[in-house]
Amino acid sequence: MNRDRGFSLLEVVVSSAIVGVLVVASLNAVGATAKARALAADRARASMLANDLLAEILAQAWVDPQLDTGLIGLDLGESTLLHRSTLDDVDDYHGLSESPPLRRDGTLVPGGAGYRRTVTVEHCTTAGAFSLLQTGLKRITVTVFRGNVPHARVSALRSKEWDRARP
């Protein structure tokens, strides 16, 4: 008795379909992994951009060294048009929005294309609540967007007493 030792057409079709489904599933997994890695890289870059600007702001005085108006925002003679070198206190940064991100001297931050940074500065209480009045405490929040999606947000509290404590 001689039996043919081979695959039938049905077996070939079924195995080809299974292999095709597995290839599509693996390509989808590879694509999802690539997207996740790109998103993680975007968020890491956004976090670096946010922390960099927050560190710059925290290095400034709590109030304007020349004239303490008590108002939040730019003082007379200060501008963020070309660079931030005229900003000399933390609340001067309130309302700053830059795209692409720039250094204090106005040069582009490498790798910053496609990102936007915004800053809000507000008086707050020791409990962290917003206050219209000067409380001796300001909350600085830097948000970094990629497109219109926020990818990083960092905040810090800055006290008036900190200026007195540092040399």
**pLDDT beyond 70 at 52:** yes
Strand-by-strand arrangement of the 149-159 sheet: 97-98, 115-123, 137-146, 149-159
Give the per-residue pLDDT at 81: 65
Give the per-residue pLDDT at 2: 60
Structure tokens at 73: 């925002």
More confident residue, 91 or 51: 51
Q: What percent of the chain has pLDDT over 90?
A: 42
Q: Read off φ and ψ for residue 3, nearest 5 degrees.
A: -105, 135
pLDDT in tens, 100-142: 999 999 899 999 999 999 999 999 887 777 787 788 899 999 9
**pLDDT beyond 80 at 155:** yes
**pLDDT beyond 80 at 164:** no
**What are the distances in angstroms from CA 89 to CA 20, 122, 133, 162?**
63, 13, 18, 13
What DSSP designation does 93 have?
G
